[in-house]
A and B are shown apart, each in its own frame.
Chain A
Amino acid sequence: MTTTVIDPADQRAPALGRLGWALADGWTIAVRDLQHWRRQPGQLAVGLLFPVLMVVMFGYVLGGGMAIPGGGDYLDFLMPGMFALTMVFGLEATMTAVTTDASRGVTDRFRSLPMARSGVVLGRAVADMLGSVLGLAVMLLCGLAVGWRAHGTLAEALAAVALLLWLRFAFLWLGIFIGLATRDPGVIMAVQILVWPFAFLSNAFVPTSTMPGWLGAVAEVNPMAATVAATRDLFGNPGAQADGWLAEHALLVAVVSPAVMTLVFAALAVRRWQRLER
């Protein structure tokens, strides 16, 4: 018992503004996720390589029997879908991280500290987006390795990457909302499973024109579908030929629909956060 009592105010680093502290606290929390990666490299590797496995399965095992309307190589067609799928898979990481913190009391610990409230969410966002940038980089390399190519300009390729991360950002908010809304591992598992039919019911694996009419219509309104169609177009990959309003305006929808998702789920997540106090 040698510690002496000091006024906590004297122990602190020099004052930053409100925004400064939000950024600093957000970074502290993001760094914690980077430390998780270092401590669990196996888990990180599995997360990064799983979509690669999907490319092998769909590109080589099933891809032989696939024909793209309008012609073209199936792998060239498949990769943009796989990029988008990798972004959607990020939902699981976000959701799991948020519920784990809530159920372990870590969220409460953060809430009892004199840190910026927004730092918790900011940290989550930074960490998960970094994770997805890494995941996307691995997938782009994987694509190049299997012969996929971006045929457009560099600017178009960068725009495609931005659209993919924009989709990930929308799913970040969905993940935070679900993570705060439930501590039931059953619900989390259900969402993880539902991601699959969600992904298949899109243009990621097969062109929607090959589906029965009504199913194709459902697949086209999938928020992922516009991103896939738009990235195919920007990368100059086959299968981007559109029919229907949604498909023709893929770029616009790929920008707008994640924005709508973000607004809706960010608002819901903030409400959930406030309800922790009740």
Chain B
Amino acid sequence: MAAPPTPPRAAPVGPTARDQTARDQTAGGGAEAAVLVRGLRKTFGGRTVLDGVDLAAPPGTVLALLGPNGAGKTTTVRIVSTLLRPDGGEVRVAGHDVVREPDAVRRRIGLVGQHAAVDEVLGARQNLVMFGRLHHLGKAEARRRADAMLERFGLTEAADRPVQTFSGGMRRRLDLAAGLLVSPDVLLLDEPTTGLDPQGRLDVWAAVRGLAGQGVTVVLTTQHLEEADRLADQVCVLDGGRVVASGTPDELKAAIGGDRIDVVVAEDRRGEAARVVAAATGTPVQQPEDRPGLVTAPVADRMAALTAVVRALDDAGLAVVDVGLRRPTLDEAYLRITGRPAEAAQQTEVAA
């Protein structure tokens, strides 16, 4: 057996945020990024939560912040939306500094937090009219916009019911409506699809793409690779308060290693199957400890790999319980990007 190939190291893929920043600033016409974050630091009671984060979202693009629990996604969004003060670094939104000109920033952003932030006792329409008034819209205009938003997010039927009686998805949609009330230049979405059913998720995705098409800059956070893949022009992977990788979804996927093949065999034949799969795919395979009988490996060409693996297993006389192709999970993405497994998943690598 040859030595196991080392997984690609933490090298940032594609243009890093800093390169991007530099490019935006030197670009002709001086068009600054709509959201520009440089060297952002934040500590909570001595604990460093953001440790020099750099981000840049050019106008009209979608930037996805991808990261596990506690990576600092919400903290970043809260700083960009003026809810928290940064301890270091610079944050500019639509050209305005969040610390020095918070009101100018607030006039240009729409915020949809991780948890629905609406009055539970009032109806959906009453909520939206109130937020419109607080945006300093006139009375008639606030009503008109509230109705337009209710229509757009399919809440017209439920407009006068107390929000308490809403489902999680309806609440989320109301929250989105509140964030979009005054057509913001920059929309900040913290895990916008968490808790939504598949249709709700598709609706949000369509809305985000539509807004970006109209020139709105969107910064969204997510724990799902697929979501970042579908929506983002640029993805930044945040881990432990740092950007550990950034690039377009394609660049990132290339670094992560594209699709994976999963093969399930009888538990006592797993070692044997691992060697066969490794030989067929030519990539390092893993045997997660918590999943007896599972062998998983990254593949470059989906169909070719599937055929080769099935044939090789058949030739070796190994009975296959299950076989399938799938996208990498976030855990695997971290393994690839950071060069270390996410804490929980202890995995053994077997070489070809």
Residues of A within 8 A of B (CB): 1, 3-6, 8-9, 11-13, 21, 24-25, 28-29, 31-32, 35-36, 39-40, 104-106, 108-115, 119, 276-278
Contacts and interface: CB of A to CB of B under 8 A. Distances in A.
B131 A109 contact: yes
A41 to B, nearest CB: 12
Interface of B: 78, 81-85, 103, 106-109, 111, 113, 115-123, 126, 130-131, 133-138, 141, 148, 152, 162, 178, 180, 182-185, 206-207, 210-211, 213-216
Contacts of A110: 134
B111 A109 contact: yes
A1 B206 contact: yes
16 contacts: A1-B210, A3-B183, A5-B214, A5-B215, A8-B185, A11-B135, A11-B141, A11-B182, A13-B137, A35-B122, A106-B118, A109-B111, A113-B135, A114-B135, A276-B83, A278-B85
B73 to A, nearest CB: 16
Contacts of B130: 28-29, 31-32
Given A3-B148, A8-B107, A114-B135, A109 B82 contact: no
Given A13-B136, A13-B138, A39-B162, 16 more contacts: A1-B206, A3-B148, A3-B183, A5-B183, A12-B135, A12-B137, A13-B141, A24-B136, A104-B115, A104-B116, A105-B113, A105-B115, A108-B113, A109-B113, A112-B111, A277-B84
Contacts of B121: 35-36, 39-40
B183 A6 contact: yes
A3 B144 CA distance: 13
B106 A113 contact: yes
A35 B125 CA distance: 12
Nearest to A8: B182
A106 B134 contact: no
Contact of B117 (A3, A109, A278): A109
Contacts of A3: 148, 152, 180, 183, 214
Contacts of A4: 183, 214
A108 B138 contact: no
Interface of A is mostly: helix
Contact of A25 (B82, B126, B134, B216): B134
Given A1-B206, A3-B152, A104-B117, A28 B82 contact: no
Nearest to B79: A277
B131 A113 contact: yes
B331 to A, nearest CB: 29
Nearest to B106: A114
A102 to B, nearest CB: 11
A108 B83 contact: yes
Contacts of A24: 133, 136
Nearest to B120: A104
Contacts of A8: 107-108, 135, 182-185
Nearest to B160: A39
A37 B117 CA distance: 20
Contacts of A31: 130
Nearest to B152: A3
The 4 closest A-B pairs by CB, nearest first: A105-B117, A1-B210, A114-B106, A109-B117
A277 B206 contact: no
* Residue of B109, B123, B183 with most partner-chain A CB within 10 A: B183
Contacts of A28: 130, 133-134
A265 to B, nearest CB: 24
A201 to B, nearest CB: 35
- Which of B81, B126, B136 has the most chain A CB atoms inside 10 A of its CB? B136
Nearest to A101: B119
A117 to B, nearest CB: 9
B136 A114 contact: yes
Contacts of B126: 32, 35
Contacts of A112: 81-83, 106, 109, 111
B136 A5 contact: no
Contacts of A106: 117-119
Nearest to B42: A278
A32 B125 CA distance: 12
Contacts of B138: 12-13
A39 B163 CA distance: 11
A114 B137 contact: no
A113 B315 CA distance: 66
Nearest to A119: B134
